């Protein structure tokens, strides 16, 4: 029997959070043993579970499809540039148009249009500069040095407009000055090749531009949310004193890695924004990106609070497991983290599914709010208990109050503050996953054309 890397047993999978958690972990490749109460619930729970080889194939296709699409667009743009320009201007201009088409085609329409404009302007400016220098000063080492120096100065002033524009000016000037000295038509052919090749590459990119990166941004946000939820049980176990010192340090390290995952998700979102701009096929898909900036900020703050708790656990002397031994408050705090985990798993499901095709497996948002309200009540009870414990310590003098008791009160207050902030962030994330009723004006504020 083939054993998977991660195995889990989940009870109560007929509906609600148990079902959502089982389906989500199975989708991520876990070996899930799910229990249900009724025989009728078994088929409805097993059928949605993804077939592992098919799931792997989907992940491979999802990771390789952008590169494959870029290769297809580049090949089409290059072939059409050669065919069209060769029939109009000859093979020399066609070769230059091919180079231009290969250069301008990028992963998104916005990047393609920018690259095309920068290349065209760079070739024109460099060509004009080279022609003027050649006619006025001739071709020698001094004129070449002067022209490259002057072209670099122009590029420095235009660098804010585009890095490629700044480098294209001296390159085009040098090629036109040297090659154009022996071929009087080269400057014109280079300019026409840059213009026509860039235009063809831009048209091909506009026609073949499925909103892949918009959906990849959505999946990245959902994956980040799932990873945050997956880190909660270990953090809760560490908080309850159930892990060794080495395991608690591993928890802290894994949460630090999640901060890097947040940065990667922000980059995926930025690429999704770029792919939605100037994309006629992404007008509906780009609605998915409306709430993501605020959601990413909330998830970023959530990770920071998790890191603070993990740091607090790894900081004290004596070890944390001894500090929380036989302390009921540590178990209560761990249960709060488990409540947050359940909500985050459901949020990831909402993000991954579109607003118009919500899965029936996902719990209703009112259920999520009920869980959050229950978590808040549990937090409030913990705060009241902390206040009572602190008041019981007040009649003692500072000398009689043990250092351990005072230290525990301070630690409890710190962790409760972090838990309260985490609940606030989770509440904001839940509200952001509500079906968007925004119109085109709201979308345009996030993704301007």
Compute the distance between CA of residue 211 and CA of residue 281 in angstroms, rounded to an integer: 7
Structure token pair of residue 250: 């591993």
pLDDT class of 433 with cuts at 50, 70, 90:
confident
The domain covering 212-446 belongs, at the CATH homologous superfamily level, to: Phosphate transport system protein phou homolog 2; domain 2 (1.20.58.220)
pLDDT class of 15 with cuts at 50, 70, 90:
low
Torsion of CA 64, 69, 72, 73, to 10 degrees: -150
Compute the distance between CA of residue 225 and CA of residue 300 in angstroms, rounded to an integer: 10
Task: Note whether 211 and 276 are within 8 A (CB).
Answer: yes
pLDDT class of 389 with cuts at 50, 70, 90:
confident
Lowest-confidence segment of 243-247, 307-311, 314-318 by average pLDDT = 314-318
What's the pLDDT at 355? 45
Structure token pair of residue 197: 């090749």
Q: Which residues pair with 124 in a beta bridge?
A: none
Compute the distance between CA of residue 323 and CA of residue 383 in angstroms, rounded to an integer: 19
Does the predicted model carry a pTM greater than 0.85? no
In the chain, where the domains are located: 7-50, 66-207, 212-446
Number of H helices, E strands in the chain: 16, 2
* pLDDT tens digits, one per residue of 194-237: 899 999 999 998 888 888 888 888 888 888 988 898 888 889 88
* pLDDT tens digits, one per residue of 21-64: 776 677 666 777 777 776 555 555 554 455 555 455 555 556 67
Task: Note whether 11 and 18 are within 8 A (CB).
Answer: yes
Q: How much is the average pLDDT of 339-358? A: 73
């Amino acid at each position: 029997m083939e054993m998977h890397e991660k195995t889990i047993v989940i009870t109560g999978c007929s509906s609600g959070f148990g079902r959502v958690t089982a389906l989500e972990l199975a989708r991520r490749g876990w070996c899930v043993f799910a229990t249900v109460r009724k025989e009728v619930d078994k088929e409805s729970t097993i059928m949605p579970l993804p077939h592992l080889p098919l799931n792997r194939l989907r992940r491979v296709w999802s990771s390789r499809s952008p590169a494959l699409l870029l290769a297809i667009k580049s090949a089409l743009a290059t072939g059409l540039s050669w065919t069209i320009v060769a029939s109009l201007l000859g093979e020399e201009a066609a070769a230059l148009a091919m180079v231009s088409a290969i250069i301008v085609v990028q992963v998104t329409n916005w990047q393609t249009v920018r690259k095309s404009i920068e290349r065209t302007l760079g070739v024109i400016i460099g060509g004009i500069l080279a022609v003027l220098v050649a006619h006025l000063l001739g071709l020698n080492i001094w004129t070449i040095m002067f022209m490259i120096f002057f072209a670099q100065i122009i590029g420095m002033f235009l660098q804010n407009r585009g890095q490629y524009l700044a480098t294209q000016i001296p390159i085009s000037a040098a090629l036109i000055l040297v090659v154009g000295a022996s071929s009087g038509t080269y400057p014109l052919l280079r300019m026409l090749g840059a213009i026509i090749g860039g235009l063809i590459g831009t048209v091909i990119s506009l026609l073949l531009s499925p909103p892949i990166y918009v959906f990849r941004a959505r999946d990245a946000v959902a994956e980040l949310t799932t990873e945050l939820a997956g880190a909660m049980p270990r953090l809760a176990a560490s908080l309850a004193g159930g892990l060794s010192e080495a395991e608690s340090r591993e928890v802290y390290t894994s949460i630090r890695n999640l901060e890097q995952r947040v940065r990667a998700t922000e980059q995926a979102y930025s690429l999704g924004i770029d792919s939605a701009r100037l994309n006629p096929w992404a007008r509906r898909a780009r609605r998915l990106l409306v709430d993501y900036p605020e959601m990413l900020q909330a998830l970023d703050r959530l990770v920071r609070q998790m890191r603070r708790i993990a740091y607090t656990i790894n900081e004290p002397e004596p070890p944390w497991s001894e500090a929380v031994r036989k302390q009921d408050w540590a178990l209560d705090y761990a249960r709060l983290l488990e409540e947050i985990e359940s909500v985050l798993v459901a949020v990831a499901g909402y993000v991954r599914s579109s607003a118009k095709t919500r899965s029936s497996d996902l719990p209703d948002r009112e259920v999520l709010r009920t869980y959050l309200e229950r978590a808040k009540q549990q937090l409030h009870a913990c705060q009241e208990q902390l206040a009572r414990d602190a008041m019981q310590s007040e009649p003692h003098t500072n000398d009689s109050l043990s250092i351990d008791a005072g230290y525990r009160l301070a630690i409890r207050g710190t962790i409760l503050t972090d838990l309260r902030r985490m609940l606030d962030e989770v509440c904001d994330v839940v509200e952001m996953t509500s079906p968007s009723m925004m119109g085109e004006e709201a979308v345009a504020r996030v993704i301007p054309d």
